[in-house]
């Protein structure tokens, strides 16, 4: 009873530790999203923060019916104010004073002053004599030249402008102008949903925007606005986190993957906020970076979901958010659809071209749908789309940067690694030609099986080419490189021979890291034997020492076991290809029997316990291996000799 209780307590302690560890991981990843949300809200531009409506003259009002929450004046436009100021200035008389100790028979101005007054359309001036001002029409004022022509003797300039008094009088004159024309009462309708924005309603909306910018009115509104922004950003990020938890839990468990997603959003949203702060068009920002980068390293569904999250957050602060979201949704769908699997550099250029076309069509369509007029098209938008297209191509450099930063691997890199003319594979072909041919055959088998069950065929092909590079160190210890000569391992103690064979895994890992192979490829090297037994030498030792308790650890690979479908496929293909070379009969039945025996033995040994392989996957793999090996070892007819 006590043992039973102790067992329950110990089990509960272990479960609590596991739960605490899991909770810590979840909290850490949620913390990353919270930090991102805070940074995004801080990055948002703060101009006109309380009035977030977008409108243009001649276009329909896209928001709900707008009514006034408070009384506010209708401000005159700049054009109206300038016109009224011009009318006032036409009656304004600049102030001049007599220059001391200069004759005053007639008022005389310099030629420069006279030309300036005429250019400013002034028709008169005021002449101060002490504290008394008298106004004269400009026709009664002379220049030295006109005075000489009129009176026949030289008259020096005797007037100069009183600049300070003139400016003061002009300011007082402008102060008589009212900057407003009428009031909008609280509760009054300003504009209804779908109504066309006219010059009058535009002026009222601009006045409301200006009222919100007032310190007394705007402070409370801005605080509430920032709170709303934060709530929306957190909501969108939570929805993305829930998507990962429900559909892509493996991504959520990986901190580097979560950081990758967050970094993409930070870069693109940050660039958009920067463009808005400097009054640049947000459409020059390549939002397609997000779905392209995500699709290159992960899957289309996640790429689209992350893209939608990014543009939803950006829509909070951009002008015309509905139009922006519509166009960017089209961009994301185009990017993912045209980049199903990026294996060539030219694909990125093609994708950018399709994105440009989709943006042009989407913008043109939505503008026509809203206004029904050619004149509503802003031709600058097409230039912005072209700039965005060029920046989208720059995503290629980001692919390389993110590969190095997060240790991801792209299809382009895998294609480059499968080049058999690379230095490492060329060295393998020279030093261990039999191993190289074995690796080629394994890569073909594994890739075919991966295609059948929906795994990453290119990834497993790459891993298969490098899985045995450790045999380059001592190639003659392995039968495929001996060319019929004696096997030196047979002359060794089986325990030592087993350790030599096992060492090709650790040597392979060392060589791979020395040559800077990606971690995912290194993983194929370390897991392609899992923790299986070196069966030949284990059985030999057991048979020669029947009464001895044999330490299996001396004959087992160090692992780890495969944890992915691709690694499991490689483990099967490696063992079965080697086994097929020892067959005497290459009939389909004989090959099928060998395939089943080998896979059943690996399953019984627990080598695939940590992989997500299903029973159907295993059966499909058996069938593919049998078919491919039968085709590879088919019987050829003998050619008849020529009778002489």
CATH number of the domain bearing residue 487: 1.10.3210
With a pLDDT cut of 90, the percent of the chain lying above it is 42
Q: What is the pLDDT, as a whole number, of residue 56?
A: 77
Residues 628 and 502 in one domain: yes
Residues 541 and 439 in one domain: yes
Report d(CA 371, CA 195) in Å as an integer: 11
If you average pLDDT over every residue of the chain, what do you get?
Answer: 86
pLDDT(450) > 50:
yes
Residues 336 and 295 in one domain: yes
Q: Does residue 6 lie in a domain region?
A: yes
Residues 477 and 576 in one domain: yes
Residue 540 token pair: 């030999």
Residue 440 token pair: 């080629």
What crossing angle do the helices spanning 289-297 and 255-277 adopt, rounded to 10°? 170
Question: Where does the pLDDT of residue 31 fall: very low under 50, low under 70, confident under 90, or very high at 90 and above?
Answer: confident
Report d(CA 241, CA 252) in Å as an integer: 8
Domain boundary pick from 358, 382, 406: 406
pLDDT(48) > 70:
no
Question: Where does the pLDDT of residue 17 fall: very low under 50, low under 70, confident under 90, or very high at 90 and above?
Answer: very low
Domain boundary pick from 385, 406, 427: 406
Question: Where does the pLDDT of residue 638 fall: very low under 50, low under 70, confident under 90, or very high at 90 and above?
Answer: low
pLDDT(282) > 60:
yes
pLDDT(192) > 90:
no
Residues 314 and 236 in one domain: yes
Q: Does residue 205 lie in a domain region?
A: no
Condensed to tens digits (0 to 9), the pLDDT of residues 412-444 reads: 888 889 988 899 999 999 999 999 999 999 999
Question: Where does the pLDDT of residue 187 fall: very low under 50, low under 70, confident under 90, or very high at 90 and above?
Answer: confident
Domain boundary pick from 175, 210, 245: 175
Cis peptide before 483 (omega within 30 of 0): no
Q: What is the pLDDT, as a whole number, of residue 16?
A: 41
Q: Does residue 644 lie in a domain region?
A: no
* DSSP string covering 154-207: -----EEE-HHHHHHHHHHHHHTS-SEEEEE-TT-EEE-TT-B--HHHHHHHHH
pLDDT(513) > 70:
yes
pLDDT(445) > 50:
yes
Residues 124 and 14 in one domain: no
Condensed to tens digits (0 to 9), the pLDDT of residues 289-319 reads: 999 999 988 889 999 999 999 999 999 988 8
DSSP 471: G
Residues 275 and 338 in one domain: yes
Q: What is the dihedral of CA 77, 78, 84, 90, to 10 degrees?
A: -170
Residues 460 and 536 in one domain: yes
pLDDT(555) > 70:
yes
- C-alpha triplet 463, 465, 466: angle, nearest 5°: 70
- C-alpha triplet 60, 65, 68: angle, nearest 5°: 120
Report d(CA 319, CA 15) in Å as an integer: 52
Q: Does residue 59 lie in a domain region?
A: no
Report d(CA 87, CA 267) in Å as an integer: 52
Q: What is the pLDDT, as a whole number, of residue 147?
A: 84
Q: What is the pLDDT, as a whole number, of residue 521?
A: 93
Q: How many structural domains does the chain have?
A: 3
Q: Does residue 25 lie in a domain region?
A: yes
Q: What is the domain extent for residue 451? A: 411-632
Strands (E), 241-348: none
Residues 365 and 451 in one domain: no
Q: Are 258 and 25 in contact (CB under 8 A)?
A: no
Q: Does residue 202 lie in a domain region?
A: no
Residues 13 and 94 in one domain: no
Q: What is the pLDDT, as a whole number, of residue 639?
A: 62
pLDDT(473) > 60:
yes
* DSSP string covering 495-511: HHHHHHHHHHHHHHHHH
264-268, 326-330, 637-641, range with the lowest pLDDT:
637-641
Q: Are strands 95-98 and 124-129 parallel, antiparallel or unpaired?
A: parallel
Residues 100 and 150 in one domain: yes
Q: Does residue 71 lie in a domain region?
A: no
Residues 401 and 441 in one domain: no
Q: Does residue 89 lie in a domain region?
A: yes
């Amino acid at each position: 009873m006590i043992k039973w209780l102790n067992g329950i307590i110990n089990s509960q302690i272990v479960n609590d530790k596991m739960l605490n560890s899991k909770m810590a991981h979840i909290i850490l990843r949620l913390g990353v999203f919270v930090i991102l949300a805070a940074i995004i809200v801080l990055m948002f531009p703060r101009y006109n923060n309380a009035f977030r409506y977008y409108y243009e003259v001649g276009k329909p009002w896209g928001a709900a019916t707008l009514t006034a929450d408070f009384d506010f004046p209708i401000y005159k436009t700049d054009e109206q104010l300038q016109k009224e100021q011009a009318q006032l200035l036409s009656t304004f008389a600049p102030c001049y004073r007599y220059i001391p100790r200069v004759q005053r028979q007639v008022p005389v101005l310099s030629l420069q002053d006279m030309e300036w007054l005429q250019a400013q359309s002034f028709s008169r001036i005021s002449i101060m004599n002490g504290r008394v001002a008298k106004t004269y029409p400009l026709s009664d004022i002379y220049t030295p030249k006109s005075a000489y022509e009129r009176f026949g003797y030289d008259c020096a300039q005797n007037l100069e402008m009183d600049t300070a008094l003139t400016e003061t009088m002009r300011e007082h004159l402008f102060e008589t102008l009212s900057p407003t024309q009428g009031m909008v009462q609280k509760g009054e309708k300003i504009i209804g949903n779908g109504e066309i924005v006219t010059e009058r309603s535009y002026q009222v909306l601009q006045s409301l925007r200006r009222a919100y910018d007032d310190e007394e009115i705007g402070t409370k509104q801005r605080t509430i606005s920032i709170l709303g922004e934060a709530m929306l950003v957190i909501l969108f990020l939570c929805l993305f986190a829930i998507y990962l938890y429900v559909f892509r839990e493996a991504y959520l468990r990986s901190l580097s993957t979560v950081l990758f997603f967050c970094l993409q959003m930070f870069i693109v949203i940050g660039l958009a906020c920067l463009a808005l702060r400097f009054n640049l068009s947000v459409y020059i920002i390549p939002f397609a970076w997000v779905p392209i980068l995500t699709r290159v390293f992960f899957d289309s569904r996640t790429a689209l979901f992350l893209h939608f999250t990014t543009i939803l957050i950006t829509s909070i602060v951009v002008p015309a958010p509905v139009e922006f979201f519509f166009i960017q949704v089209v961009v994301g769908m185009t990017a993912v659809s045209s980049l199903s699997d990026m294996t060539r550099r030219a694909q990125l250029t093609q994708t950018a071209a399709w994105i440009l076309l989709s943006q042009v069509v989407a913008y043109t369509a939505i503008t026509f749908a809203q206004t029904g007029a050619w004149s509503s098209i802003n031709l600058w938008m097409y230039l912005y789309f072209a700039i965005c297209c060029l920046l989208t191509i720059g995503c290629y450099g980001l692919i390389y940067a993110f590969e190095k930063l997060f240790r991801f691997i792209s299809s382009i890199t895998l294609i480059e690694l499968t080049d058999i003319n690379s230095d490492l594979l060329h060295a393998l072909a020279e030093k261990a030609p039999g191993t190289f041919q074995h690796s080629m055959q394994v890569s073909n088998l594994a890739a075919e099986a991966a295609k059948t069950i929906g795994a990453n065929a290119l990834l497993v092909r790459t891993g298969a080419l490098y899985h045995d590079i450790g045999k380059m160190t001592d190639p003659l210890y392995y039968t495929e490189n001996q060319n019929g000569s004696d096997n030196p391992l047979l002359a060794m103690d089986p325990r030592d021979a087993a350790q030599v064979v096992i060492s090709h895994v650790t040597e392979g890992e060392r060589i791979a890291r020395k040559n800077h192979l990606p971690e995912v490829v290194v993983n194929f090297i370390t897991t392609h034997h899992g923790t299986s037994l070196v069966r030949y030498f284990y059985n030999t030792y057991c048979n020669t020492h029947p009464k001895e308790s044999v330490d299996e650890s001396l004959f087992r690979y160090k692992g780890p076991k495969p944890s992915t479908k691709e690694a499991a496929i490689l483990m099967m293909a490696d063992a079965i290809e080697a086994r097929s070379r020892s067959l005497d009969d290459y009939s389909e039945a004989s090959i099928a029997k060998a395939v089943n025996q080998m896979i059943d033995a690996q399953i019984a040994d627990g080598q695939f316990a940590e992989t997500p392989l299903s029973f159907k996957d295993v059966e499909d793999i058996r069938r593919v291996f049998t078919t491919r090996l039968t085709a590879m070892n088919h019987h050829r007819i003998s050619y008849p000799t020529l009778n002489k």
